[in-house]
Amino acid sequence: MESITVILNPEASGGAGARIQPTVERGLDQRNISFDLLRTEAPGHAAALAREAASNGAKALLVVGGDGTLHEVANGVLGSGRSAPSIAIVPVGTGNDFYRMVSGERDPARALDALTRGRSETFDVGHVHFDGSESYFVNLLGLGIDVEVLQRRGRFRRLIGLPQYLAAFVSALATFRPDSFRVSFKTAEGSEHDGVVEDRTILMAITVGPSVGGGFLLNPNASPHDGLLDLFFVRTLGIVKLARYIPKVIRGTHGNVPELFQRTIVGADVTRTDGEPFFFEMDGERVPTAVDRLRVKVCPAKLPVLLPGREQ
């Protein structure tokens, strides 16, 4: 195949990206794949590297990193103005929820095989406008305690995936005070099925796929191929009920819990009911400045992804 560009985040998952670099290089050499390996140096660098690669006509990119790195790469290629190259992923992040939509395995060799024996499929992505800016998200837009969890995950670096998310979640609960939000949503069925949910919320998430936080099944029936986003909104509830419901959410068996509001949507408008600005996150990365409003929509079949498995 043609030479590919490798975008590697050496800081992913506490330095796991740097540690896996020799394995990736050796695996590409064994498959006789010519490559140009680029290491990210700062936040936003992966987006710039991906944008340049797409502008130069790259046909395939290999991303070595987590959901945050992939978020940047997706925004780089989709914002390049050129046809987006297919993306293969070696998952070395903390959560890797996007890769759960691609494959249930984390073997780097399996991911590299997608470059030669995989198939390309287009994935839905979300798009959000906020305060004069815009961005794509590949799996998650979240607010509420999710933002606090991101700030605390560094305290639990010895854990990975869902255990780390849960530890940070419990830590954040001690001081978190929920705000009231209004979410006006549009459905694929037409205006008669559109609606509004408004309440104080511990967590609001809009997802492309089923899981967040390393395997927390907020929206277990979500798919990156249905042209829809999935809204998850936790109405106000006490600590006892919350503790009772968490295991259900982990397993994805919370569909009958009345305080957990869920809808499949094509778009949403999100504000605080008091009009105050708020913070949110995308794909595990906190947006640094508070915003007044989010306008979210789905972009069906937007991102080409190389899946391991069957022959092309």
Bridge partner residues of 306 (DSSP): 120
pLDDT at position 24 is: 96
Q: Are residues 294 and 159 in the same domain?
A: yes
pLDDT at position 232 is: 96
* Strand, coil or helix: 285: strand
Tell me the two tokens of residue 63.
């991303």
Helix residue spans in the chain (DSSP H) = 12-30, 45-55, 67-78, 97-102, 108-117, 145-152, 161-173, 239-251
Q: Are residues 147 and 22 in the same domain?
A: no
Specify the residue for token string 């919320």. 201
Cα separation of the two ends of the chain: 13
pLDDT at position 279 is: 96
Q: Are residues 259 and 161 in the same domain?
A: yes
Q: Are residues 141 and 112 in the same domain?
A: no
CATH number at residue 103: 3.40.50.10330
From 86, 117, 148, the end of a domain falls on: 117
pLDDT at position 208 is: 97
Going from the first residue of the chain to its last (312 residues), give the mean pLDDT of each consecutive group of 10, the final group possibly shorter. 89 91 96 95 96 92 95 95 91 87 80 88 97 96 90 78 81 87 95 94 95 88 97 87 84 87 97 97 93 98 86 40
b or e along 76-85 (b: 16 or more beta carbons within 10 Å of the residue's beta carbon)? Answer: bbbbbeeebb
Q: Are residues 148 and 252 in the same domain?
A: yes
pLDDT at position 61 is: 95
Q: Are residues 37 and 151 in the same domain?
A: no
Q: Which domain holds residue 55?
A: 4-117
How far, in Å, are 153, 237, 247, 286, 304 from residue 177 at the CA level? 18, 12, 22, 18, 39
Rounded-to-integer distance, Cα 251 and Cα 245, Å: 10
In a domain, 308, yes or no: no
CATH number at residue 244: 2.60.200.40
In a domain, 311, yes or no: no
pLDDT at position 110 is: 83
In a domain, 159, yes or no: yes
